[in-house]
Copies of this chain bind each other. A is one copy, B any other.
Amino acid sequence: MIPRYSRSEMAQIWEPETRFRIWLRIEIYAAEAMAELGLIPKEAAEVAKKRGGFDIDRIDAIEREVKHDVIAFLTSVAEHVGPEARFLHAGLTSSDVLDTCFNVQLVQAADILIADLDALLEALRPRAYEHKDTITVGRSHGIHAEPTTFGLKLAVAYAEFARAKQRMVTAREEVATCAISGAVGTFAHVDPRVEAYVAKKLGLKPEPISTQVVPRDRHAAYFATLAVVASSVERLATEIRHLQRTEVLEAEEFFSAGQKGSSAMPHKRNPVLSENLTGLARIVRAYAMPAFEDVALWHERDISHSSVERMIGPDATVTLDFALHRLTGIIKNLVVYPERMRANMDRLGGLIHSQRVLLALTNAGVSREDAYRLVQRNAMKVWQEGKDFQEELLADPDVTRALSADVIRDQFDLGYHTKHVDDLFARVFG
Binding site for B on A (CB under 8 A): 1-2, 4-5, 65-68, 71, 138-148, 152-153, 155-156, 159-160, 163-164, 167, 170, 174, 183-188, 192, 208-212, 215, 217-218, 220-221, 224-225, 227-228, 230-232, 234-235, 237-239, 241-242, 244-248, 258-260, 262-272, 275-276, 278-283, 285-290, 292-308, 310-312, 315, 319, 344, 347-348, 351-352, 354-355, 357-358, 372, 375-376, 379-380, 383, 416-421, 423-424, 427-428
Q: Which 6 A-B pairs have the closest CB atoms?
A: A138-B184, A141-B270, A279-B307, A231-B295, A282-B290, A224-B224
The answer for the CA separation of A424 and B184 in the assembled complex, in Å, is: 13
Given the known interface contacts A141-B275, A148-B300, A283-B290, the answer about A310 and B232 at a Cβ–Cβ threshold of 8 Å is no
Asked whether, in the complex, the Cβ of A167 is within 8 Å of the Cβ of B348, the reply is no
Given the known interface contacts A144-B246, A302-B142, A307-B5, the answer about A266 and B351 at a Cβ–Cβ threshold of 8 Å is yes
A selection of 21 A-B contacts at a CB cut-off of 8 Å is: A1-B311, A139-B298, A142-B246, A152-B186, A156-B211, A163-B174, A186-B417, A186-B418, A192-B420, A221-B225, A227-B288, A231-B293, A239-B298, A246-B348, A262-B355, A264-B372, A265-B354, A279-B307, A282-B304, A285-B290, A286-B286
Residues of chain B within 8 A (CB-CB) of A2 are: 310-311
Given the known interface contacts A148-B185, A293-B231, A299-B138, the answer about A266 and B379 at a Cβ–Cβ threshold of 8 Å is yes
Residues of chain B within 8 A (CB-CB) of A269 are: 143
Q: Of B66, B224, B315, B416, which is within 8 A of A260 by CB?
A: B66
Asked whether, in the complex, the Cβ of A264 is within 8 Å of the Cβ of B375, the reply is yes
The answer for the CA separation of A340 and B176 in the assembled complex, in Å, is: 38
